[in-house]
């Protein structure tokens, strides 16, 4: 399958003016930019956690101001350590069940290791930032290595929640929901948050007490890039979308794939696979041993297909390919790029570049 797993950005996208060249607008470039932004966020996090014995009332207020809670509710009063800790622990079982897959995996590993996990993999930077914003832990830098840690209170509460049958049942649903969102974004480029949230709440109806729209929305914002459309609608969008503003201008109505059944998504995915897979496999075979050291063949193919979905021309794709391989593109490579432009559906219109 020529489809790709989303690397969640956790609101770290830097929406700077769109670069002139397509080679600077690829998904891999956007991903690298997000990582740099996330590292800046990590460096700016408080070294004190909410449950630390040394945490003061002033520290607690500063932690609240950088938390998800502050973003979700009006600021009306100062927050004491005691009340903030109580609120954080009381919502933890429901919130734990709603974590993004990456956050949940990081939490499980950290709890099993006694509350302390070195972040050897840079992909763990994103979920660790979000978990800190949930006020569950902190990130400290030890030399060149970041370390994520949880308090004993959060570890114990998490361990009890993770052991429940209800938690496991909800996690099965959550994993399916995030898979469907990933598939939907790959198919359409963007989704209305209100539609995704509605379907998410319907799927979770009758589960762990305390699950509410606020916590579901928090997880969607933790897992995906979000921004408001020109009409003021909050949207989720694919991490490879280079220019969301242009996308929203070109597309008058966003198709809401999140409301479709899993069977419908599977059918749509299979149809797209029949178009993309042969092109992916043919070009992969041609460039597998020709890519520069800093660019893998798989990453290059991912970038090309995602750019084709955004309306890049064959000339634009040639520019990107030329920056990734050690020789000039062959006639067969150029033909495949033209086929990508002609046959791959556009995100902005959900139509082929040329009528088949």
Torsion of CA 141, 146, 151, 156, to 10 degrees: -170
Mean pLDDT, residues 255-273 taken together: 66
This prediction has a pTM of: 0.86
In this prediction, what percent of the chain has a pLDDT beyond 90?
64
In this predicted structure, the answer to whether residue 10 has a pLDDT above a threshold of 80 is: no
pLDDT band at 18 (very low <50, low <70, confident <90, very high): low
Distance of CA 337 to the CA centre of its chain: 28
| Closest residue by Cα to residue 52 from 133, 123, 136, 121 | 136
Predicted local distance difference test score (pLDDT) of residue 353: 39
Q: What is the pLDDT of residues 53-81, one digit of tens each?
A: 999 999 999 999 999 998 887 766 778 89
Read off the pLDDT band of 194 (50, 70, 90). Answer: very high
Which of 146-150, 189-193, 254-258, 309-313 has maximum average pLDDT? Answer: 146-150
Residue 153: its pLDDT value, please?
95
Domain ranges of the chain: 45-162, 262-343
As a whole number, mean pLDDT of residues 82-101 equals 94
> Encoding tokens for residue 341?
């432009």
Give the per-residue pLDDT at 23: 77
* Nearest CA among 224, 181, 185, 187 for reference residue 203: 181
**The residue count for the chain:** 356
d(CA 47, CA 45): 6
Between the CA atoms of 273, 278, 340 and 324, what dihedral angle is there, to the nearest 10 degrees? 110
Q: How do residues 105-152 score in pLDDT, each as one tens digit?
A: 999 999 999 999 999 999 999 999 999 999 999 999 998 899 999 999
**How does the average pLDDT of the chain come out, rounded?**
86
According to the model, what pLDDT value does residue 252 have? Answer: 59
Q: Which fold has domain 45-162?
A: Arc Repressor Mutant, subunit A (1.10.10)
Say what percent of the chain tops pLDDT 70.
87
Q: What are 22-44's pLDDT values in tens digits?
A: 778 899 999 999 999 999 989 88
Residue located via tokens 């060149």: 144
Q: Note the pLDDT tens digit of each residue in 225-235.
A: 998 888 888 99
Tens of pLDDT, residues 237-263: 999 998 888 887 776 554 444 445 666
Quickly count: other Cβ atoms within 10 Å of residue 112's Cβ: 12
């Amino acid at each position: 399958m020529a489809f790709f797993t989303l690397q969640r950005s956790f609101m770290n996208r830097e929406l700077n003016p769109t670069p002139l060249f397509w080679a600077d607008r690829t998904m891999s470039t956007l991903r690298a930019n997000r990582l740099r932004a996330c590292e800046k966020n990590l460096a700016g996090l408080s070294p004190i956690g909410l449950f630390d014995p040394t945490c003061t009332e002033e520290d607690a207020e500063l932690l609240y101001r950088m938390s998800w809670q502050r973003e979700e509710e009006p600021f009306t009063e100062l927050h004491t350590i005691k009340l903030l800790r109580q609120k954080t622990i009381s919502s933890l079982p429901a919130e734990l069940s709603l974590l993004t897959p990456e956050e949940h995996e990081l939490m499980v590993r950290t709890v099993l290791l006694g509350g302390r996990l070195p972040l050897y993999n840079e992909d763990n930077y994103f979920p660790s930032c979000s978990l800190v914003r949930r006020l569950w832990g902190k990130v400290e830098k030890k030399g060149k290595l970041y370390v994520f840690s949880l308090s004993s209170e959060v570890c114990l509460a998490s361990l009890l929640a993770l052991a429940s049958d209800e938690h496991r049942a909800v996690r099965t649903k959550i994993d399916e929901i995030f898979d469907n969102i990933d598939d939907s974004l790959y198919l359409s480029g963007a989704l209305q948050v209100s539609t995704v949230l509605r379907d998410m709440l319907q799927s979770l109806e009758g589960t762990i007490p305390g699950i509410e729209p606020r916590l579901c929305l928090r997880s969607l914002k933790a897992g995906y890039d979000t921004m408001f459309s020109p009409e003021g609608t909050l949207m989720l969008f694919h991490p490879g979308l280079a220019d969301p503003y242009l996308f929203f201008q070109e597309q008058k109505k966003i198709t809401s794939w999140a409301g479709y059944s899993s069977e419908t998504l599977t059918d749509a995915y299979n149809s797209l696979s029949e178009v993309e897979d042969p092109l992916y496999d043919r070009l992969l075979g041609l460039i597998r041993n020709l890519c520069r050291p800093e660019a893998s063949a798989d990453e290059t193919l991912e970038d090309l297909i995602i750019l084709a979905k955004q309306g890049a021309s064959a000339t634009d794709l040639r520019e990107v390919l030329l920056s990734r391989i050690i020789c000039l593109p062959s006639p067969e490579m150029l033909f495949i790029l033209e086929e990508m432009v002609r046959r791959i559906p556009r995100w902005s219109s959900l139509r082929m570049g040329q009528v088949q």
